[in-house]
Amino acid sequence: MTGSTYYSTSADQALYEAQNILDIHVTSSGTGRCVACGSLGPCWRRENAVVTFSRTLRLPLRRPGASKPELINATRIPIHRQPLQ
Protein backbone atom coordinates (compact mmCIF):
# COMPACT_ATOMS: atom_id res chain seq x y z
CA MET A 1 0.00 0.00 0.00
CA THR A 2 1.43 3.32 -1.01
CA GLY A 3 0.53 6.72 0.31
CA SER A 4 0.68 10.03 -1.39
CA THR A 5 1.39 13.45 -0.08
CA TYR A 6 -0.67 16.33 -1.31
CA TYR A 7 -1.16 19.95 -0.40
CA SER A 8 -4.59 21.40 -0.12
CA THR A 9 -5.61 24.64 -1.72
CA SER A 10 -5.36 26.41 1.63
CA ALA A 11 -1.74 25.25 2.06
CA ASP A 12 -0.88 26.48 -1.42
CA GLN A 13 -2.56 29.79 -0.63
CA ALA A 14 -0.60 30.09 2.63
CA LEU A 15 2.69 29.50 0.76
CA TYR A 16 1.70 32.05 -1.89
CA GLU A 17 0.96 34.68 0.77
CA ALA A 18 4.14 33.84 2.69
CA GLN A 19 6.19 34.27 -0.51
CA ASN A 20 4.61 37.69 -1.10
CA ILE A 21 5.48 38.75 2.44
CA LEU A 22 9.09 37.58 2.00
CA ASP A 23 9.32 39.55 -1.25
CA ILE A 24 8.12 42.75 0.41
CA HIS A 25 9.63 42.56 3.91
CA VAL A 26 13.32 42.21 3.05
CA THR A 27 16.09 43.14 5.49
CA SER A 28 18.27 45.78 3.84
CA SER A 29 21.99 45.05 3.52
CA GLY A 30 22.83 48.71 4.07
CA THR A 31 20.80 49.57 7.15
CA GLY A 32 19.74 46.22 8.65
CA ARG A 33 16.13 47.43 8.65
CA CYS A 34 13.07 45.96 6.96
CA VAL A 35 12.63 47.68 3.60
CA ALA A 36 8.81 47.73 3.92
CA CYS A 37 8.07 48.65 7.53
CA GLY A 38 11.44 49.96 8.76
CA SER A 39 11.76 47.74 11.84
CA LEU A 40 15.31 46.87 12.88
CA GLY A 41 16.26 43.39 11.69
CA PRO A 42 13.78 40.90 10.30
CA CYS A 43 10.26 42.06 11.16
CA TRP A 44 7.60 39.83 12.71
CA ARG A 45 5.76 39.51 9.39
CA ARG A 46 8.87 38.09 7.73
CA GLU A 47 9.51 35.73 10.63
CA ASN A 48 5.94 34.39 10.43
CA ALA A 49 6.37 33.79 6.68
CA VAL A 50 9.61 31.90 7.33
CA VAL A 51 7.77 29.68 9.82
CA THR A 52 5.14 28.90 7.17
CA PHE A 53 7.81 27.65 4.78
CA SER A 54 9.53 25.72 7.56
CA ARG A 55 6.35 23.87 8.51
CA THR A 56 5.65 22.83 4.92
CA LEU A 57 9.26 21.75 4.28
CA ARG A 58 9.43 24.01 1.24
CA LEU A 59 11.94 26.69 0.28
CA PRO A 60 10.93 30.21 -0.77
CA LEU A 61 11.98 31.65 -4.11
CA ARG A 62 14.99 33.94 -4.06
CA ARG A 63 14.84 37.43 -5.51
CA PRO A 64 18.44 38.51 -6.30
CA GLY A 65 19.11 42.10 -5.32
CA ALA A 66 16.08 42.41 -3.05
CA SER A 67 18.20 43.36 -0.03
CA LYS A 68 19.68 46.29 -1.99
CA PRO A 69 23.35 45.28 -1.69
CA GLU A 70 24.39 48.39 -3.60
CA LEU A 71 23.84 50.35 -0.38
CA ILE A 72 27.03 48.79 1.00
CA ASN A 73 28.87 49.23 -2.32
CA ALA A 74 28.61 45.55 -3.22
CA THR A 75 29.27 44.81 -6.88
CA ARG A 76 28.93 41.71 -8.98
CA ILE A 77 32.19 39.97 -9.79
CA PRO A 78 32.28 38.63 -13.33
CA ILE A 79 32.98 34.92 -13.61
CA HIS A 80 35.68 34.15 -16.16
CA ARG A 81 35.30 30.65 -17.47
CA GLN A 82 38.05 28.75 -19.19
CA PRO A 83 37.15 27.34 -22.60
CA LEU A 84 36.81 23.57 -22.79
CA GLN A 85 39.73 21.85 -24.43
User: For 46-85, what is each residue's pLDDT tens digit?
Assistant: 999 999 999 989 988 887 766 666 666 656 667 776 666 6
Question: Is residue 77 one of the residues assigned to a domain?
Answer: no
Question: Is residue 18 one of the residues assigned to a domain?
Answer: yes
Count Cβ atoms within 10 A of the Cβ of residue 34 and give its class: 0-12 exposed, 13-18 middle, 19 or more buried.
buried
In this prediction the pTM is: 0.66
Domain interval for residue 19: 9-59
Half-sphere exposure of 38 (CA within 13 A, CB side): 0
Work out how many domains the chain is built from and give that number: 1
| pLDDT confidence of residue 2 | 56
